[in-house]
A = this chain, B = another copy of it.
Amino acid sequence: MDSSQFRQAAHAAIDQIIDYYDNIEARPVLSNVEPGYLRELIPPGIPQTGEKWEDIQKDIEAKIMPGLTHWQSPNFLAFFPANSSFPGILGDMYSGAFTCAAFNWQCSPAVTELETIVLDNVARLIHLPEDYHSTGEGGGVIQGTASEAIVTVVVAARDRYIARSKEQWVAEGLTEDQIEEKVCTLRGRLVALESDQAHSATKKAAIIAGVRCESIETVMGHFTLNGDLLTRKIEDLEKRGLVPFYLTVTLGTTPTCATDDFASISTALSTYHTANPTKPKIWAHVDAAYAGAALVLPEYSHIPSIWPTFADSFDFNMHKWLLTNFDCSCLYVKRRRDLIDALSITPSYLRNEYSDRGLVTDYRDWQIPLGRRFRSLKAWFVTRTFGVDGMRAHVKKAIDIAEVFTELLEADRQKFELVAKPAFALNVFRIYPPPKVAKAVEDDEKEFRRKCNEVTKKVADRINKEGKIFITSTVLGKGDESITAIRVVAGSQSVQVHHLEEAFKIISDAVDAVWKEDLMAQESAIKDQIELQAV
């Protein structure tokens, strides 16, 4: 493919992409292919001689499109949004064109320096205190995903805890052998903590880092971690001889977008460390993967001000709700040395004053992989194209639309019940059984819950099978107490109020249909019983 063929191919691709965005609403949001659909469409093997772009491009609509779920569609109300945008796509085009394995500053200074500048800008945009800016001892780095960021900080937290423990043992005059033995024992007892509402990424990070992970149970209906729950858990761990070294706290949990009680967690950690001055600090990480984008709004700007009192790191994904196509997860740390000490494989005698003074950043030491793409370009293009106002308007629109949806739910209390406080454009609700059934079981809490769960599950499945909108169902709590709920969150660029009004109608109609089926099934069961008794 020479330059002129590329020009032609790229123009054709741009046209196809524009057409895709302009008409995305007309496509069924959810792919309904069967496993293995693509093997049947694509001949095996690579052609001996090259093919023309026209032939390759044809296959995108014919073979790829049927297997895509359209995350940019206004009818995509599942999981969390994964915003893409035109300036973001332009950023990745240049990143591809400039391809350079920028594993250190010298490999391409612009890749490193733009990342530092853009992340400082984003820090200011989301009102992150100076503690996390590169101008102090901290700084930001673009990771691929929030889960990768958590692996990175869990490893750094583990190694910092061990290093500080070792320092103390050295000060106590222990021998090298004794210290090695103690480190070995310590490793086996380290525990990463999370709440039962935290993202599974903490569990996975603990597996990778080879440490234990324990969940702190939250209270049903609140779904938030607080200082008391944390203190009790730490006491429990210490009684069992285990050592908490890391904690994920969440701004906007995956199931309900709940926010942990930062103030009481900060107090609890501070009280614990004051009472245990010889114990190394527990690393606290604020996971705001989705909801962090809301910090662009002035009404949320007070939230991060508490973090420096306890949080060593913070992460949010511009690729969720902030218009930057995947991947652009912004990880900030209060002390960049914590990352470098753990992840640098450069022996200390090779470190230079530039690195330490922050003049030259080698981001390979802030992350797991060695090489890196030029990801800051897309964040730069996006922030400049939308401006502060544009990004605020985008986030605010989703929150406003979600409020309309909340009102619709609350206006029909025969069908719907919110099971968590709506937050950050997410509504979580369950469906009641048909009124006749609801009345029959209203005094039996457990049976009532069981019926609600059953109906909610049926409604969710019916909606996704129908495929006009895509929603996620979730299970809150455990065992008999558990509640099945539907999550609706709309954050795409194209979504408007009327989409959520239509979505509400689709859901409401699905409830009617499930209720009808349910009653028919009951009547038929009664009929069968009568017939059976008549025999």
Contact = CB atoms under 8 A, between A and B. Distances in A.
Interface stretch (A107-115, A308-316, A398-406, A410-418): A107-115
B20 A201 contact: no
Interface in A311-334: 319, 325-327
A156 to B, nearest CB: 10
Contacts of A387: 46-51
A220 interface: no
Q: Which 4 A-B pairs have the closest CB atoms?
A: A67-B110, A184-B188, A84-B99, A38-B113
Which of A17, A85, A95, A96 is the most central at the interface, judged by chain B CB atoms within 10 Å of its CB?
Answer: A96
Nearest to A82: B101
A90 B13 contact: yes
Contacts of A13: 90, 93-94
B47 A388 contact: yes
Interface in A76-95: 79, 82-90, 92-95
A7 to B, nearest CB: 6
A520 interface: no
A105 interface: yes
Interface string A127-158: 00000000000000000111110010001001
Contacts of A200: 345, 370
B384 A46 contact: yes
Interface in A10-29: 10-11, 13-15, 17-18, 20-22
Given A44-B120, A56-B380, A84-B96, 20 more contacts: A6-B89, A7-B14, A7-B15, A10-B10, A31-B108, A31-B109, A39-B113, A42-B117, A44-B117, A46-B121, A46-B387, A47-B387, A49-B387, A49-B390, A82-B100, A89-B97, A97-B325, A144-B369, A187-B187, A208-B209
Given A208-B209, A371-B327, A388-B46, A185 B187 contact: no
A373 interface: yes
Given A82-B101, A93-B92, A114 B17 contact: no
A1 B87 contact: yes
Contacts of A275: none
Contact of A94 (B51, B60, B97, B99): B60
B96 A88 contact: yes
Contacts of A384: 46-47, 50-51, 56
A310 to B, nearest CB: 25
A125 interface: yes
Contact of A371 (B46, B209, B326): B326
A69 B100 contact: yes
Contacts of A148: 368-369
A68 B110 contact: yes
A274 interface: no
Contact of A50 (B49, B211, B370, B386): B386
A279 B258 CA distance: 48
A373 B327 contact: yes
A343 interface: yes
A20 B98 CA distance: 9
B155 A208 contact: yes
B100 A96 contact: no
A381 interface: yes
A306 interface: no
A300 interface: no
Contacts of A53: 87, 90, 385
A210 B186 CA distance: 12
A121 B14 contact: no
A14 B22 contact: no
B109 A1 contact: no
Contacts of A349: none
A276 interface: no
Contact of A385 (B35, B56, B89, B121): B56
Contacts of A63: 110
Contact of A210 (B38, B45, B187): B187
A242 interface: no
B110 A97 contact: no
B354 A109 contact: no
Interface string A168-209: 000000000000000111011000000000001101100111
A33 interface: yes
A383 interface: yes
Contacts of A86: 1, 5-6, 9-10
